[in-house]
Amino acid sequence: MPNIEALTVDSGVLLQKLLDRQDIQDTIARYSLGQDSHQGQDSNILQHWDDTFSEDGKVDYSVAGGPVGTYRDLAKWMRGDESTSGSMSSFSNWQHMLSLPVVTIEGDTAKGRTDFFATHRGRADQGSDIHYNAAGAFHDELIRTPKGWRILLRRLEVYFGDPLQVVKASR
C-alpha cells in the first residue's frame, strides 16, 4: 500500500515544479510580447520588460552587434531614444515566434533555451523594400523573485539572418 504522506509531499513538489515552469514560460513570452506589442514608432517595450527581467537583468546581444549590458541598454539599442534612432528604426512591423522553452529548474534558479523565428518588415514610408528574417535561440538564466520568475541573463544566439528583397508586382 502506498505511503499517503510520501505521495502528498511528492504531489506538492510536482505541483510547484509545474507552476514554476508555467511562470517561467510566461516570463519568456513577455519578452516577445514587449517587442511585438509596440510596433513602429511605439518604443514602450519597457512596459513589458520591467516585468520580464530582474532589476539587475543583463543581456548579451553581441552576436547581432548589440549590447552586453542591462536590458535597458538593449531597449535603447533597439528602439533608440529622443536623440538617437534604434536598430529597429528601419522596420515598421515585426513578429517574434517562440518555441516552447526547454527549462531546468534548481531551487530558486533556472536555465532555459527557447528557439525563435523573427520576421521584420521594412518601412514603406522610407522606401524600404527589404524585409529581414532571423532564426536563433535565447539562452536564459532566471531567478525566482517575490514577483515571480525573472530573467537574470539573456544571451542571443543567431542561427541565420536573411534580408529578403521584396519585388513589387508588375501591373
- Residue 17: Cβ within 10 Å count: 12
- 21-77 pLDDT tens trace: 999 999 999 999 988 988 877 778 898 999 999 999 999 999 999 999 999 999 999
Under the banding of pLDDT at 50, 70 and 90, the label for residue 169 is very low
Arithmetic mean of pLDDT, 135-153: 98
**149: CB partners within 8 A, 6+ apart:** 20, 23, 24, 27, 110, 142, 143
Arithmetic mean of pLDDT, 151-156: 98
According to the model, what pLDDT value does residue 43 have? 77
**127: CB partners within 8 A, 6+ apart:** none
At residue 162, what is the residue type? D
Cell triple for 18:
509545474
DSSP code at position 127: T
